[in-house]
A and B are shown apart, each in its own frame.
Chain A
Amino acid sequence: GDIKKGGYCMLKGFPCKVTEYSTAKPGKHGSAKATIVGIDIFTNKKYEDTAPTGATGSVPNVTKEELEVADIDEDDFVSVILPDGDLKTDLKLPIEDEELYNELKKVWDEREDKTIYFTIQRAVGKEKFIAARSK
């Protein structure tokens, strides 16, 4: 009952953000079923699925954390400062997503004396930088 537009759910095994949610019923006295369309939050691919509204579908735990960027090395590995002060250095800029890659890199390259934050999105064991902000 908690799935709604703007929320997250697993569609065909992929973590998706719900873009369309509608219900229908098979015949006048039938039970409602939902059609959910969503976009994979890592690949932007579209998925669709249908399920009874009473069914408990699985919902991915999607987190988005904004972290200060310490450095980006020449192999595109980003060093970000975790809340406990440790450095995380094992995640690259999203090379597979060219536009995003360029945007993030541009923010970093044009930082001058500003502090740069990247938002890291995590779900189903995957992680990806998805946004940048300079302060």
Chain B
Amino acid sequence: MEQGIRELEAAAGVLLAPPNCVTNEQRHGAEEVFMNFRKIKSPFVLCKCILDASTSDLVLFEAAGLLKDSLIREWSSVSEQDLKNLKTYLLNYVVQKTTLSAYVRERILQVVAIMVKRGSVEDLGADRGQILNDVEQLVISGDSNQQMIACSVLAAIMQEYSSSVKSSDVGLRWEIHFRVKRQFEGTDLKRIFHFIVQALRTFGSDDRQMNRESCLLLSRLLAIAESVLSWFFVPTTMLPKRLIGVFEADQNPSLRPGPQWSEVFLDPAVVELFYRIHYKVRHLPDLCHHTLNCLTQLASLNGPVMTNKDVRVSYISHYLTQFVHFVGGVELRAQECLGVSSIFRKLVLFFPPDTLAALNPDLLQTVFLHCTRLTCKFAEQAEKESASPSDDNLSMEAFDNMVIGWDSLGVDSAFIKEEWRIEILNTYIKCHLGSPDGIRGDGANEETEEDIDETEEDDKTKFRDQLSSIGAFSRSVASHSLVLLARLLEDRITRFSTQLQRMHGQSLSQSDQHQLGSLFEDLHWLLLISGHTLTLDSDGETAIIPQEILQHSIAQAPTVNVETTLKVIASPGNRAMDIAGMEESCDHVARLIAAVLRLCEVERRASDAGLAHLLSPEMGSTIVWWLRRFALTYMLPNENLYIEFSPSFSAAFGRDSEGANWIIGFLLNKVESNLRTQTAESALMNETLQLLMALVDTREKRNVVINSGPFWTLVRMHNSNELLQLGGSARRKFFQALTIAGAGANSPLGGLGDQNYFWNQVLKPLEDRLISLIQSESLNRLIHQDDVRFSVSTALESLIGVVMGSQVATVQMLFASLQPVLRELPKLIHAAHNYNLIVELILELLSTCARIMLIFLSQSDSEKLYRLALSSTQAYASHTSGRVTREASAEEDAHRDLLLFMELLMNLLSKDIIDLSPFAAEGTPISASEVCLHGLNLLMPLMNAELLRFPQLCWHYYKLITFACEICPAKIVSLPSPMLSNLFASLQLGMTSFGSDVAAFCFEFIQVLSTHLAKNDRTSAAYEAMKPFLKIVLEMILCQQVSSDLLNVASGTFYALICAYQTEYQLLVEELLSRQEEEACRNRLVNAFNNLTVGVPLNAERLGRIKFRDNFDAFIMEVRSLLIVK
């Protein structure tokens, strides 16, 4: 044995040696030593010897690991006395060996904890109680070393019990984990907490300065307290495993203990104690982190302990008294802000308004007053933080927490006084404005000159939630905020305009640039705040005018002059203050909107005057973002949605109003101006086209748009090739919007809004150009000309946009009118096959047709599209198969092409699932899955294992075949055998090579297909070809190659395979058993296999599969623990 230990120590020495001191072979040899060591059976005596004799930490660590595995495996065959002795030995070992490395000690304690937990399954925690007695003695002993060890023991035990889902490696079924966890919670967890609270009390009452040792101990005690307070208490009713898994994965569970904890948490002394300890340690960041977490958890107390409202009120009343005492009595330190804000957030989340209403009003007022003060303080600190070079954003997080808190309370709640709301809003605005009105720092961005990457989120996205809450604050004090925001904007716009005029024709000085930058930032933030004030995030739903804004406008109506209001809106070229009556009789909402229109005008004039280079694309896109939200919410609203409507809004934005016509024209002009001058800024382009989309989102708007002059300017721009600079995705959106606008064309013949006129102007020129080129005899020569390829690409991009813009009402007509050009696409592939970008666009066009149009198409139109897809695939394959090249990008190009094909086929396939076509199928319809499989057959020769290494292609490929198989397994069975064998080879590869997503697809595929085979078809070639998978799947399961998230689907697959191949399964099992030399082991295996199928009908039906799955979980536990040692 001694020699064995020496060998292990030598191996450990090699493994830990610096890389240059040992050879590879030595390293492998050393690894081999440990691999073999881990396989030793019944190593209990051996491990004890090692622990006693060895001084190498790694060897001790490995010995503990071996102990753990063997205990789990052999638990039932070790005598109770031996287990008891071993546990006592390990505990004593840790207590006595004070010099042990932390990681070895934790590992050994983990073994103890596993033994405690495993033992408690049988003795219901009797032995655990005994150990806790010992641990308490250690703490009371006063010896700091022993106290620390005691904490480690407690932490290890809690760790083992804390999760029921993830603890499967202890060899227990999940239901048992669940049961023992619940048993532990109701008894010893409570005891541990009680005990920790006792220990903390000695710290709380102690006035002495803390030394290093007591800090360490306090930190451990607090960590344990924190774990108890953050514990996920299992619900009283048994939930399915998957649900519990979701709960346990929650990083921030609330404190929701069972009813037996009432007297623990409802004792006011507990909350008081944690506040007292916090006072004591608040200057120590490491410790106050724990205390604040504990206090945050205590602020979330809910569930069965809160038996009625009185209990809740009394608890929170006491908590808030302590809270006010704390935040009112001290100046918060930097490390406390986040914690305090979390407390507020949890408090209002878990104590609803009706509970708060029952509190002493004075107390409540004081709480909210303090919280208002803190919100403002955090906002200011956050601004300072963002201007400083460090990456800290703790104050911003704290501010966000406060805002979320206010939000869940409802910012218009009667608890919050109007003056507090104004204070918060004003502070927020102040933080984002430059001096003299604001306190914004000199923006870190401008100073550091660091490039901002395109992938970085913009403010709109980054602060979306925050801004929408601030918007709510702003609306709740509309009479204050609307005028304030309008004035601030008007002031900045005047300054902006003056500044631009001053700089016109002059060279840019440093200070000019600085001033301009500061104005941009001011305007940008004023737009963000006012945008969120006037509009809500609608996310594709009908955007509604916020109630408070509408009410404000209605209430203001008696003093408003509608004429003046319209005049203010329609005079973007004038300064606001120059319009008579603006201050007294203009609607406040309209005034704010007019300010933004004025800003547009300043921007547009500057562009026209050749000053586009001075403008900020960031601010430009914020303006367009603002206009889009405005257009979605206010333009031509459905007044029936509102009980009462504002006369100003009706006149300025209402349906059939002149005001609305004028504004739509103005917005279209803005779009036109941006398309002309800003194509280089892709984010701005994107926003601009979103605005255009917002202008055609309802029938009413489309009608106005299509009859408006500026819209036809856009069409003309396209037809006269003024938009050639538009990038691909912008071009698509542009045509999508035009096409949607076309759906509004229903005016009498001959007018601008006439359908035929519209399509002749928009669609026809586009198609004609492309068709005449493709049909030209010299296509094969012309395609090599740069300009020809460019115009082909732009035409294809535009057509993709047209298809994207098709809607239920227009889809039939559009598909019919696109036919002439779609028909020619295979020919274009033949001619342009050497030019990837064109081929890709053709595929995207087809794919978009399939994705958007197909579900609405009649059978005969669908078949046209199927045929087109197949002949395009064929054209591609005929030029690509057998091609040899060394081009650097060849593989990536091929990958992109194939990916597009997979998408195309997948989109086709969806027709078999959803078919909204109004026509009944005539004749025997061709199914999309047939087309899909046929297409796959054409592409298969172009695929190879190398290409599957591209994750996206890989994912799409496996998804496609699985999808096809699910829809129609019979079609798979009848595939020609070369394709079938390719398909099965790729399945086998997919099960192990590309991660769990792909493996899940493969399992799914096999499950569906073998279910089909089991039920219908045991004579086909596919039945034979599928057979090897039985063995493959069984081996994967036995060798632990199936990760735990796949076990579920693997069990279904295994079941289906057993049903399909029962004889083969019997043979396989017998062979496996015959390989087991040890009788005990063999017997256990025999049992395991018997239990696996006992009571399960092998008919490949759903009920059988579910029954099998239950057995399978137990099977896995048993078999794995047996086969860990090969």
* Interface set of A (CB-CB < 8 Å, partner B): 1-2, 4, 6-7, 17, 19, 22-32, 39, 41, 44, 52-54, 59, 61, 63-66, 83, 97, 99-100, 103-104, 106-107, 119, 130-135
Cβ-closest 4 pairs across A and B: A54-B680, A29-B616, A131-B885, A64-B834
CB of B454 within 8 A of chain A? yes
* A22 and B445 contacting across the interface, CB-CB below 8 Å: no
A59 touches B786 (CB 8 A): yes
B1079 within 8 A of A: no
Check B882–A28 contact: CB distance below 8 A.
Answer: no
* Given A99-B886, A119-B885, A132-B884, A27 and B681 contact (CB-CB distance below 8 Å): no
B517:A27 contact, CB within 8 angstroms = yes
Q: Which residues of the partner chain B approach A1 to less than 8 Å between Cβ atoms? A: 679-680, 725-727
Apart from A32-B682, A100-B885, A119-B885, list 11 A-B contacts with CB within 8 A: A17-B889, A26-B451, A27-B446, A28-B616, A29-B617, A29-B618, A32-B617, A65-B834, A107-B884, A132-B884, A133-B883
Q: Is the CB of A4 within 8 A of B728?
A: yes
Q: Of all chain B residues, which has the CB nearest A64?
A: B834
Q: What is the CA–CA distance of A132 and B887 in the complex, to the nearest angstrom?
A: 11
Provide the residues of chain B in CB contact with A104, threshold 8 Å.
884
| A131-B884 in contact (CB<8A) | yes
Candidates A63, A83, A135; contact of B882 at CB < 8 Å: A135
In the complex, A64→B785 CA distance in Å? Answer: 10
Q: Looking at the assembled complex, report how far the CB atom of B125 sits from the nearest CB atom of chain A, in whole angstroms.
A: 60
How distant is the Cα of A63 from the Cα of B613 in the complex, in angstroms? 36
**Is B883 a contact of A28 with CB atoms below 8 Å?**
no
Give the chain B neighbours of A23 by CB distance below 8 A: 454, 682
17 A-B pairs whose Cβ atoms sit less than 8 Å apart in the complex: A1-B725, A1-B726, A6-B840, A23-B454, A25-B451, A26-B452, A28-B521, A29-B616, A30-B452, A39-B889, A52-B680, A53-B680, A83-B780, A119-B885, A130-B887, A133-B882, A133-B884
Which secondary structure characterizes the binding site on chain A? Answer: mixed
B residues less than 8 Å from A2 (CB atoms): 725, 727, 790
Closest-by-CB residue of A relative to B726 is A1
Chain B residues near A54 (CB-CB < 8 A): 679-680
Contact with A7, one of B619, B682, B837, B885 (Cβ below 8 angstroms): B837
Query: B758-790: which residues lie under 8 A (CB-CB) from chain A?
Result: 780-781, 784-786, 790
Once the chains bind, are B451 and A119 in contact (CB under 8 Å)? no
Q: How far is the CA of A31 from the CA of B679 in the complex (A)?
A: 12
Shortest Cβ distance from B459 into A: residue: A28
Measured CB to CB, the closest approach of chain B to A124, in angstroms, equals: 12
Report A89 CB to chain B, min CB distance, Å.
20
Contacts of B785 in A (CB 8 A): 61
A83 contact set on B, CB distance < 8 A = 780-781
Residues on the A chain within 8 Å of B443, using CB? 28
In the complex, are the beta carbons of A44 and B618 less than 8 A apart? Answer: no
A6 touches B618 (CB 8 A): no
Residue of B nearest to A60 (CB): B786
- Please encode chain B, from 815 to 853, with 1 for each CB lying within 8 Å of some chain A CB and 0 for all others: 000000000000000000111110010000000000000
The answer to whether A103 touches B886 (Cβ under 8 A) is yes
Residue from B453, B790, B883, B893 within 8 A of A6 (CB atoms): B893
The answer to whether B888 touches A131 (Cβ under 8 A) is no
Tell me the minimal C-beta distance from B854 to chain A in angstroms. 27
User: Chain A: which residue is nearest B890 at the CB level?
Assistant: A131
CB of B1082 within 8 Å of the partner chain: no
User: In chain B, what residue has the closest Cβ to A39?
Assistant: B888
Q: What is the minimal beta-carbon distance from B941 to any residue of chain A, in angstroms?
A: 13
Q: Shortest CB–CB separation between residue B990 and chain A, in angstroms?
A: 28
Tell me if A24 and B454 are in contact (CB < 8 A).
yes
Q: Across the interface, do B619 and A29 meet the contact criterion of CB distance under 8 Å?
A: yes
User: A61 CA to B788 CA in the complex, in Å?
Assistant: 11
Q: Which chain B residue shows the least CB distance to A55?
A: B680
> Is B406 an interface position by the 8 A CB rule?
no
Q: Are A31 and B882 in contact (CB under 8 A)?
A: no
**CB-CB contacts below 8 Å: B596-632 with A:** 613, 616-619
A96 CB to closest chain B CB (Å) equals 12
Considering residues A25, A61, A107, A135, which has the most beta carbons from chain B within 10 angstroms of its beta carbon? A25
Report B942 CB to chain A, min CB distance, Å: 13
User: Measured between alpha carbons, how far is A131 from B840 in the docked complex, in Å?
Assistant: 19
Residues of B within 8 A of A99 (CB): 886
A129 CB to nearest B CB, Å: 10
B449 touches A26 (CB 8 A): yes
Contact B884 A103 (CB under 8 A): yes
Interface positions of B from 369 to 419, Cβ below 8 Å from A: none
Residues of chain A within 8 A (CB-CB) of B280 are none
Q: Determine whether the beta carbon of B888 is less than 8 Å from that of A44.
A: yes
Whether the pair A31, B790 counts as a contact (CB closer than 8 A) is no
Q: Is the CB of A22 within 8 A of B834?
A: no
CB A77 to nearest CB in B, in angstroms, measures: 20
**Which one of A6, A53, A59 contacts B682 once the chains associate, using CB atoms below 8 Å?**
A53
Please state if B681 and A130 are interface contacts (CB–CB under 8 Å). no
Provide the residues of chain A in CB contact with B784, threshold 8 Å: 63-65
| Cross-interface CB contact of A130 among B451, B790, B885, cutoff 8 Å | B885
Taking each of B452, B453, B524, B679, which has the highest tally of chain A beta carbons within 10 Å of its own beta carbon?
Answer: B452
Name B452's contact: one of A25, A59, A106, A107 (CB within 8 Å). A25
Say whether B653 faces chain A, with CB atoms less than 8 Å apart: no
**Contact partners of B725 in chain A: CB under 8 A:** 1-2
The smallest beta-carbon distance between B877 and chain A, in angstroms, is 12
Q: Which residues of A contact B681 (CB under 8 A)?
A: 31-32, 53
Question: Is residue B896 within 8 Å, beta carbon to beta carbon, of the partner chain?
Answer: yes
Q: A83-B781, A131-B884, A134-B882 are in contact. Are A25 and B835 (CB under 8 A)?
A: no
Chain A residues lying within 8 Å of B835, measured Cβ to Cβ, are 64
Whether a CB of chain A sits under 8 angstroms from the CB of B1055 is no
A-side contacts of B727, CB under 8 Å: 1-2, 4
The yes or no answer to B520 lying at the interface (CB within 8 A) is yes
Q: Which residues of A contact B613 (CB under 8 A)?
A: 31
Contact of A27 among B449, B454, B682, B683 (CB under 8 A): B449
Q: State A1–B797 Cα separation when bound (angstroms).
A: 14
CA distance A39 to B835 in the complex (A): 16
Which residue of A28, A30, A64, A97 has the most chain B CB atoms within 10 A of its CB atom?
A28
A123 to B, closest residue via Cβ: B786
Q: If A1-B680, A1-B727, A6-B893 touch, does A131 touch B883 (CB 8 Å cutoff)?
A: yes
Q: Are B617 and A25 in contact (CB under 8 A)?
A: yes
Q: Which residues of B, 883-929, contact A by the 8 Å Cβ criterion?
A: 883-890, 893, 896
In the bound complex, how far is the Cα of B685 from the Cα of A53, in angstroms? 13
> Which residues of B from 715 to 735 have beta carbons under 8 Å from A?
725-728
Asked, given contacts A2-B727, A4-B728, A130-B885, whether A31 binds B617 with beta carbons under 8 Å apart, the answer is yes
Assuming the contacts A83-B781, A119-B834, asked whether A29 and B886 have C-beta atoms less than 8 A apart, the reply is no
Looking at B451, B521, B616, which has the most chain A CB atoms within 10 Å of its CB? B451
Could you say which residues of chain A place their CB within 8 Å of the CB of B879?
66, 133
Cβ distance B178 to chain A, nearest Cβ, rounded Å: 50
B-chain residues with CB within 8 Å of residue A134 when the two chains form the complex: 882
Report the bound CA distance from A134 to B683 in whole Å.
Answer: 46
Q: Say whether, besides A1-B727, A53-B680, A132 and B883 are in contact (CB < 8 Å).
A: yes
Kindly identify, within residues 690 to 728 of chain B, every residue whose CB is under 8 Å from any CB belonging to chain A. 725-728
Do B884 and A6 have beta carbons less than 8 Å apart? no
> Which residues of chain B are near A65, meaning CB under 8 Å?
784, 834
Q: Chain B's nearest CB lies how many Å from the CB of A18? A: 9
A28 to B457, CA, bound (A): 11
Contacting residues, chain A, for B882 (C-beta < 8 A): 133-135
B867-890 contact mask (Cβ, 8 Å, vs A): 1 or 0:
000000000000100111111111
Residues of chain A within 8 A (CB-CB) of B883 are 131-133
> Which residue on chain B has the smallest CB distance to residue A66?
B834
Chain A residue at minimum C-beta to C-beta distance from B728: A4
